[in-house]
């Protein structure tokens, strides 16, 4: 029995979730998630990882509230976010910031961490300068509040009155993923004077309302750089220049009909003066990053999807500083038929490293500022995140995962490309897998190669073929290319199932053509692709084609619902957070304008809804279904599964409904994740393996 065989052990495994490289390149700060507290919940701490790999990881922080989002200052001091209480704060101040993340500083010379800023609405983002002791942070503030003290007063008045109501007006979203937006909105605030030259000065000059320094003197208040932001900074990335003088950030504009687009703007960190850097109709610019020499900005450029075609994505380069008008930009990835994800500058500002989904992997690439052909940096099957180029340019640090490997820190030498990563000691789990991984593919009618991963359980053979579980990914623009703690096929392999992870039409990593193939009909090529690769896999002698099941979440849940109405070949189907009635879902999700561009107005252009909506095929469903949904899921609202449930019950179909009143799109609490898998395993065992139904104990 491996650690993946016991669900309670599995949910408790330590997980590395983020990585940052120290300015001198000597060590990395890793965020590690573990289970603790009563009732059990996931908690994060920060660990020190030796960049040479010679010493074991060391835990740096520990509190019941946890720590995350590490960022280094130039002197090696470490900023991080935490909800931990400040032992030096007065009772009034401590109560005001209760349960909201504040910024803390851990000095480079060691010692106790100290709280730096504690806005009443909590810190939602952080960026540091790389040559000056300065930072900016994002915090939620109430409209009309001129400063942090005014925000605190408004917050206090609402609390004392017992008011939680939100008044929405045209020009903003209502919800995002699993939380309401408003009445607060995000602003950027300057942490300190950019001329501060030590961690002590930093801590002394960046207080929140009511904060005082170690001598009891009230700290200077942070500078509000965006008092008129409104909803412009919701979910936008930002970056502080190396000298701390300017900030570049995404800036969301509201357009007619509730549509949005995002610019990139430059903000003076002293005066708050703002000017537009990148702006274009029908385009979003996102995740801007300033070069180490402070002269250039790179950003992602995403064309808006429309009814006729999906938008493409690339990286663009613009100069900094600029005049007060939008600047011309240069496409760094012209002709590169992959969509860039994470980006990192080389320390000499001559190269840009980025990741992109590619044929069931997510490798690192490098491109020069001349916009030439990108070079692949990594030679393996890994999927990479959290890129950290070494200061001397000799190597790159990152988190590497794969379908068969959880995220772990690695060192990637750059002397000869493509390179094989060198593993570093990890504070995360090192698991023993209950089977093996192989790549599978087939060719469909239009000549397209459809590939995927096949997880085989131990002992699968022609003499003992394994039952097959088809597992379709979410997105839909996504790919099976990395480890997932939430959607983990190895948990099913530990129970004897082979698991097929296909990348059908709409998947990323295969060029824009693959997305176009499924654009106008979600139940068209994506469905036939999934069925074709399933047909190919069940022909294998180590697969039992008479015992098959299907499952998926989000778009994978949509495909589960669609498959249920179009074939009876599976013994059981699991639909997690699946789309059911498309006209209903696209009007109640957290981002209706996005879907309206893709599918059109259902009142005037119903064709695509009628072509692709699973609920129109409810009468044909005969396969037993397990429906799963969280009530706090605002991306695919719970109404989809409620309607699916009653549509099945009215037709006397076989169904069960696992409902989580306080979970979101993913189901994140350790005990709930365990119950999720226990229910899925029991449901599949009943219908695929012929075993008696075993109701999970906690249900």
Task: List, for residues 90-100, the tens digit of each pLDDT value.
Answer: 655 555 456 89
Q: Do residues 121 and 141 lie in contact, with contact meaning Cβ atoms separated by under 8 Å?
A: yes
**Residue 79, both tokens:** 């900023």
H/E segment holding residue 154: helix 148-161
pLDDT for residue 172: 73
Span 541-556, mean pLDDT?
98
**Residue 448, both tokens:** 């397209």
Rg over CA atoms, the chain: 26
Please state, as a whole number, how many other Cβ atoms lie within 10 Å of the Cβ of residue 585. Answer: 23
Residue 403 is assigned to a structural domain of this protein: no
Residue 245 is assigned to a structural domain of this protein: no
Final residue in a domain of this structure, among 189, 209, 224: 224
Percent above pLDDT 70 for the chain: 93
Residue 377 is assigned to a structural domain of this protein: no
First to last CA, the chain: 25
pLDDT above 70 (res 44): yes
Q: Do residues 496 and 547 lie in contact, with contact meaning Cβ atoms separated by under 8 Å?
A: no
Q: Do residues 359 and 503 lie in contact, with contact meaning Cβ atoms separated by under 8 Å?
A: no
Q: Do residues 672 and 681 lie in contact, with contact meaning Cβ atoms separated by under 8 Å?
A: no
pLDDT for residue 219: 53
Final residue in a domain of this structure, among 224, 242, 261: 224
Span 415-434, mean pLDDT?
95
pLDDT digits (tens, 9 = 90+) for 257-299: 888 999 999 999 999 999 999 999 999 999 999 999 999 999 9
pLDDT for residue 170: 81
Three-state DSSP class for residue 477: coil
Burial letters for 395-410: b for 16+ Cβ neighbours within 10 Å, e otherwise? bbbbbbbbbbbbbbbb
Domain count, the chain: 2
**Residue 494, both tokens:** 């530990």
Report DSSP state, residue 16.
Answer: E
Distance CA 307, CA 520 (A): 8
Distance CA 15, CA 232 (A): 33
Query: Which phi and psi (to 5°) does residue 252 adopt?
Result: -85, 130
| Strand order, beta sheet including 383-389 | 383-389, 395-402, 405-413, 422-423
Mean pLDDT of all residues in the chain? Answer: 92
Distance CA 177, CA 228 (A): 25
Residue with tokens 């896999």, as numbered in its chain: 537
**Residue 339, both tokens:** 């969509």
pLDDT for residue 193: 45
Lowest mean pLDDT among 169-173, 319-323, 681-685: 319-323
Residue 359 is assigned to a structural domain of this protein: no
Q: How confident is the model at residue 194 (pLDDT cuts 50, 70, 90)?
A: very low
pLDDT digits (tens, 9 = 90+) for 106-126: 999 888 899 999 999 999 999
pLDDT above 90 (res 222): no
| Strand order, beta sheet including 351-356 | 340-345, 351-356, 364-368, 375-376
Report DSSP state, residue 7.
Answer: H
| Strand order, beta sheet including 296-303 | 283-290, 296-303, 313-319, 330-331
Distance CA 696, CA 2 (A): 21
**Residue 652, both tokens:** 């006397």
**Residue 306, both tokens:** 């429309």
pLDDT above 90 (res 372): no
pLDDT above 50 (res 195): no
Report the CATH number at residue 628: 3.40.50.1820
Residue with tokens 């950290």, as numbered in its chain: 388
pLDDT above 50 (res 322): yes
Lowest mean pLDDT among 74-78, 86-90, 638-642: 86-90
**Residue 41, both tokens:** 């919940």
> Who wins on pLDDT, 318 or 221?
318
Q: Do residues 33 and 44 lie in contact, with contact meaning Cβ atoms separated by under 8 Å?
A: yes
DSSP string, 248-297: EEEEEEE-GGG-EEEEEEEEETTT--EEEEE--TTEEEEEEEE-TTSSEE
Lowest mean pLDDT among 47-61, 281-295, 590-604: 590-604
DSSP string, 644-678: HHHHHHHTT--EEEEEETT--SS--SHHHHHHHHH
Span 22-45, mean pLDDT?
95
pLDDT for residue 5: 83
Q: Do residues 393 and 347 lie in contact, with contact meaning Cβ atoms separated by under 8 Å?
A: yes
Angle, helices 525-538/555-564, rounded to nearest 10 degrees: 80
267-271 contact pairs (CB < 8 A, 24+):
267/188, 267/225, 267/226, 268/225, 269/134, 269/136, 269/190, 269/194, 269/223, 269/225, 269/240, 269/241, 269/244, 269/245, 270/190, 270/194, 270/223, 270/245
Residue 469 is assigned to a structural domain of this protein: yes
Residue 597 is assigned to a structural domain of this protein: yes
Where do runs of H (alpha helix) occur along 167-208?
199-204
pLDDT above 50 (res 55): yes
Q: How confident is the model at residue 28 (pLDDT cuts 50, 70, 90)?
A: very high
Residue 534 is assigned to a structural domain of this protein: yes
pLDDT above 90 (res 221): no
Report DSSP state, residue 422.
Answer: E
User: By residue range, what is the domain housing residue 571?
Assistant: 452-687
Where do runs of H (alpha helix) occur along 555-650?
555-564, 582-588, 592-599, 607-612, 639-650
Q: Tell me the C-alpha to C-alpha distance, in Å, between residue 393 and each of 122, 348, 415, 516.
A: 36, 8, 9, 39
What does the angle CA 436 – CA 441 – CA 444 come to, to the nearest 5 degrees?
Answer: 155
How far does CA 242 lie from the centroid of its chain? Answer: 26
Distance CA 531, CA 508 (A): 19
Residue 404 is assigned to a structural domain of this protein: no
Span 453-471, mean pLDDT?
98
pLDDT above 80 (res 200): no
- For residue 223, the cross-strand partners are 190
pLDDT digits (tens, 9 = 90+) for 642-683: 999 999 999 999 999 999 999 999 999 999 999 999 999 999
pLDDT digits (tens, 9 = 90+) for 565-591: 999 999 999 999 999 999 999 999 999
Final residue in a domain of this structure, among 175, 201, 224: 224
Distance CA 314, CA 331 (A): 7
**Residue 383, both tokens:** 């999927």
Q: How confident is the model at residue 326 (pLDDT cuts 50, 70, 90)?
A: low
pLDDT above 70 (res 437): yes
């Amino acid at each position: 029995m491996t650690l993946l065989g016991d669900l309670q052990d599995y949910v408790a495994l330590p997980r590395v979730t983020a990585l940052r490289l120290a300015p001198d390149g000597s060590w990395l700060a890793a965020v590690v998630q573990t289970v603790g507290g009563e009732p059990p919940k996931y908690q994060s701490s920060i660990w020190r990882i030796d960049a040479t790999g010679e010493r074991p990881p060391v835990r740096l922080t520990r509190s019941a509230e946890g720590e995350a989002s590490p960022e280094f200052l130039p002197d090696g001091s470490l900023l991080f976010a935490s909800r931990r209480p400040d032992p030096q704060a007065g009772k009034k101040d401590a109560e005001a910031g209760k349960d909201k993340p504040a910024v803390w500083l851990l000095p480079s010379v060691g010692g106790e961490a100290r709280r730096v800023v504690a806005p009443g609405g909590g810190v939602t983002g952080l960026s540091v300068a790389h040559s000056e002791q300065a930072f900016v942070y994002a915090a939620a503030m109430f409209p009309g509040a001129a400063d942090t003290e005014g925000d605190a007063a408004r917050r206090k008045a609402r609390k004392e009155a017992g008011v939680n109501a939100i008044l929405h007006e045209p020009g903003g979203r209502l919800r995002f993923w699993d939380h309401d937006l408003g009445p607060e909105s995000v602003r950027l605030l300057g942490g300190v004077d950019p001329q501060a030259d030590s961690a002590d000065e930093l801590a002394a000059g960046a207080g929140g309302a009511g904060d005082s320094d170690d001598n009891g003197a009230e700290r200077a208040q942070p500078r509000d750089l965006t008092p008129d932001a409104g909803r412009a900074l919701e979910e936008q990335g930002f970056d502080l220049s190396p000298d701390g003088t300017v900030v570049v950030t995404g800036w969301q504009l509201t357009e007619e009909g509730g549509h949005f687009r995002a610019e990139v703007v430059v903000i003076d960190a002293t005066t708050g003066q703002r000017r537009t850097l990148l702006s274009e109709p029908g385009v979003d610019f996102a995740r801007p990053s300033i070069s180490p020499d402070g002269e250039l900005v790179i950003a992602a450029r995403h064309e808006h999807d429309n009814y006729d075609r999906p938008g493409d994505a690339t990286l663009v380069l613009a100069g900094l500083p600029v005049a007060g008008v939008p600047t011309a930009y240069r496409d760094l990835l012209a002709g590169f038929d992959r969509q860039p994800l994470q980006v990192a500058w080389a320390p000499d500002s001559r190269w840009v490293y980025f990741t992109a989904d590619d044929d069931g992997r997510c490798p690192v690439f490098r491109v020069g500022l001349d916009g030439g052909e990108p070079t692949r940096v990594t030679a393996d099957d890994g999927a990479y995140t959290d890129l950290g180029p070494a200061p001397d340019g000799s190597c790159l640090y990152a988190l590497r995962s794969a379908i068969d490997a959880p995220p772990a820190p690695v060192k990637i030498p750059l002397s000869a490309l493509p390179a094989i990563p060198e593993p570093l000691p990890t504070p995360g789990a090192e698991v023993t897998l209950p089977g093996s991984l192989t790549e599978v593919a087939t060719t469909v009618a239009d000549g397209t190669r459809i590939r995927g991963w096949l997880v085989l359980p131990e002992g699968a053979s022609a003499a003992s073929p394994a039952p097959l579980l088809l597992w379709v990914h979410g997105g839909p623009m996504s790919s099976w290319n990395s480890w997932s703690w939430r959607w983990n096929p190895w948990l099913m392999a530990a129970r004897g199932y082979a698991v097929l992870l296909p990348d059908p039409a709409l998947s990323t990593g295969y060029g824009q053509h693959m997305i176009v193939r499924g654009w106008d009909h979600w139940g068209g090529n994506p469905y036939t692709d999934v069925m074709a690769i399933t047909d190919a896999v069940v022909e294998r002698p180590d697969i039992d084609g008479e015992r098959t099941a299907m499952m998926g979440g989000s778009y994978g849940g949509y495909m589960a619902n669609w498959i249920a109405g179009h074939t009876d070949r599976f013994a059981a189907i699991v639909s997690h957070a699946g789309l059911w009635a498309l006209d209903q879902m696209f009007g109640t999700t957290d981002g209706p304008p996005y879907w309206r561009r893709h599918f059109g107005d259902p009142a005037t252009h119903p064709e695509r809804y009628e072509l692709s909506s699973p609920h129109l095929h409810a009468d044909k469903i005969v396969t037993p279904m397990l429906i799963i949904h969280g009530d706090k899921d605002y991306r695919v609202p719970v109404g989809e599964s409620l309607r699916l449930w009653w549509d099945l019950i009215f037709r006397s179909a076989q169904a069960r409904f696992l409902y989580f009143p306080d979970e979101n799109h993913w189901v994140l609490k350790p005990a709930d994740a365990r119950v999720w898998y226990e229910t899925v395993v029991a449901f599949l065992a009943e219908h695929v393996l012929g075993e008696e139904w075993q109701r999970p104990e906690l249900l």
